[in-house]
Structure 1
Amino acid sequence: MTDLMQHTRALLEDLGHDEEPVGIHYTDAEPAEGFAPKPGVPFNAEMEARNEIDWKGLWGNFSCVLGKVWLARRRKKPASFDAVRYGCVGASFFLGFHKPQIRFLDHYISMGIPDVTPGERYLPSPASVRRFFETIDPRPAPARFCVIKPLSLFAEGETPELVSFFVRGEVLGGLCQLAVFATDDIDVVAMPFGSGCSNLVTWPLRYPEMGRPRAVIGGSDPSCRKFMAADELIFTVPLGLYRTMLAARPASFLATETWAGVRTKIRRSREVWEKKKE
């Protein structure tokens, strides 16, 4: 991890970005500190079919993955999730803790159920939502915990599967361009439909299973925007692709005068947003 952080710091310097990325991995070791949702009530598709789910309890301890990641980013501590402390019914599916997804979500993400719940209206029908669930097909969690934490907190012997940057437009453009340069693939960056956590974790893991590792842009889900800064989006890559980007960095456009001009805009943007925090 020492070598990875050294190269990451060089990339951050070239980009003109002031926040280190987070790393994501699955582990059986529970973090000694950090942020995790409260324990949730049991649920699964079989319980739903038998009408045995405590719906009030299910939503009573709701906690968004991006909310816990926000705290992890700001306070430099891990955020962790597991099959008991899942926080969100959708996230429990996307992080690989509960499959298949319950049918209620087919309606909730689409047009709702009259006199029961309004829909988010993110997809046009329950059938559309079910096709999405079947397509994204989250990998079953390979260990007890999904841990998301600043990359510098990874100890020797720990390896992230994914690396995620939280960025605004100019830096996002730089990361996208570097991914293309590093891979010689003009279609290496994807922005698929999904929740905040699915684009942070599930899609970046899914594309390699489909035979094509890709960088994934996330954060467009309206429901997760409250846990992100204005104009901020997420850029996530599998570790192998990230290492390829790091190796290509010295020869890339990041050393050109063109990028130096963009870095000036990045600095001005940061100054504007810092003033808005005052």
Structure 2
Amino acid sequence: MQQNDIDTTVTERLPQFLARLGIAEMPMGLVYTDTEPQEGFSPEPLERPTPEREQRGEVNWQAVFGGFSCVMGNIWRARKKRTTAWFSADRYGCPGGSFFLGFHSPQTETIIHYVSTGIPNFSEGERYCESPEALRRIFAITDPRPAPKPFCVIKPLDQFGPDEQPELVLCFSRPEPLCGLHQLATFVTNDPEVVASPWSAACGGAITWPLRYMERGEPRAVLGGWDPSARKFLKTDELFMSLPYPLFRGMVLRAPESFLMTHTWDTVLKKAERSTRTWGESPA
């Protein structure tokens, strides 16, 4: 297997792996690329909301917010249609998401106030952080990796070709299958802290934080979906886990050695299947 290829063994074992976990939906893969996708969709172009342009008073925030399109909303749409959602520095959808996707840094003061205490005569604020000062410190810690290539592409994992490899794999699920992913991550790493759940916008949990941990040399699976503003783009009772591809690959390949083959997991799987039936969804 070349470094940039998806492992065909993973592709072959994936349906059985998902079925054993009780995951009823194909995970999404994420990759940054030089090539603009010819399929799928992206947010409409908007002016770039960089701090430099903000400081010069060049950002028309009414137009930027008027063209708002949530990153997680675009991923939700790609999930439902089983197609590609993609983003760029001009097609970011959400000015906060542009930061989390690595298209600009640091975060703009407008978004810092919007997410915390609000902007007079414009927004009451989301009140997700107690003050702009506190939020600046959090964003400095978050410090998203600059986008390494022009396009961020997210599509179903089974749509990656043999010459493509995702950086991240996003699994969307309710608690029972997530229980399996959580335990399996430690099974293959022997690291009791391999699953993290830092504060962030939902797109930050899905993309920024797992990439940030990898950049630090501390690969982590990130459990996310806590952002109240993005809950409308997740199913009822649903969360997600975003995993570095090497970790996900190890979990797929080593699953047959793990607790997933035990009677204990059979009991959990029955609950996952009951949940699937309750919500009228098809099994994987």
Same fold (TM over 0.5): yes
Structure 2 counterparts to residues 193-212 of structure 1, below 5 A: 193-212=199-218
Structure 1 consecutive aligned stretches of length 4 or more whose deviation exceeds 6 Å: none
Deviations 1:64-105 (A, max 9, x none): 111111111111110000001110001101101111211111
* Residue in 1 that maps onto 2:182: 176
1:68 maps to what in 2?
Answer: 74
1:130-164 deviations in whole A, cap 9, x for unaligned?
Answer: 11111111111111100000001111211100001
- Does residue 256 in structure 1 map to residue 275 in structure 2? no
Corresponding position of 2:32:
26
CA distance in 2, matches of 1:153, 1:211: 28
Specify the SS of the correspondent of 1:147.
strand
Maintained 8 Å contact 1:35/1:71? no
Q: Report how many aligned residue pairs link the two structures.
A: 275
Q: CA deviation at 1:32?
A: 1.2
Q: CA deviation at 1:236?
A: 0.8
Match of 2:168 in 1: 162
**1:48 maps to 2:54:** yes
2:96 is the alignment partner of 1:90? yes
For the pair 1:117 / 2:132, whether they are aligned, the reply is: no
Match of 1:224 among 207, 223, 230: 230
Q: Does 1:16 align with 2:22?
A: yes
CA contact (8 A) 2:10 2:253 kept: no
1:179–1:245 CA contact under 8 A, matched in 2: yes
Amino acid at match of 1:175: L
Instruction: Choose between structure 1 and 2 for higher RCO, CA contacts under 8 A separated by at least 6 residues.
Output: 2
Q: TM-score, normalised by structure 2?
A: 0.94
Q: What are the within-5 Å matches in structure 2 for residues 1-12 of structure 1? A: 1=6, 2-12=8-18
List gaps (5 residues or longer) in structure 1.
Answer: none
Residue segments in structure 2 that go unaligned for 5+ positions in a row: 1-5
Matched, 1:79 2:79: no
| Aligned-residue offset at 1:248 | 2.1
Return the offset for 1:43. Answer: 2.6
Specify the SS of the correspondent of 2:23: coil
1:42 is displaced (CA, Å) by 3.0
Q: Any conservation in 2 of the 1:7–1:246 contact (CA below 8 Å)?
A: yes
Seq. identity, %: 50
Q: Say if 2:246 is the partner of 1:246.
A: no
Aligned to 2:41: 35
For structure 1, which segment, 38-47 or 137-146, has the greater mean C-alpha deviation from structure 2 after superposition? 38-47
d(CA) in 2 for partners of 1:164 and 1:188? Answer: 16
Which of 109, 127, 151 is equivalent to 2:157?
151
Supply the distance in 2 between the matched residues of 1:180 and 1:8 (Cα, whole angstroms): 19
Which stretch shows the higher mean deviation, 117-126 or 8-17? 8-17
Per the normalisation by structure 1, the TM-score is: 0.96
| Structure 1 residue 242 displacement after superposition | 1.2
Cα distance in 1 for partners of 2:203, 2:216 equals 19
What corresponds to 1:133 in structure 2?
139
- What's the secondary structure of 1:57's corresponding residue? helix
Q: Distance in 1 between matches of 2:131 and 2:13?
A: 45
Q: Is the 8 A contact 2:167 2:244 kept in 1?
A: yes
Q: What do the CA deviations read for 1:224-244 (whole angstroms, capped 9, x no partner)?
A: 111110011010110111122
Question: Over aligned residue pairs, what C-alpha RMSD do you find?
Answer: 1.2
1:115 partner letter? N
Q: Is the 8 A contact 1:179 1:215 kept in 2?
A: yes
Give the conservation status (yes or no) of the 8 Å contact 1:196–1:220. yes
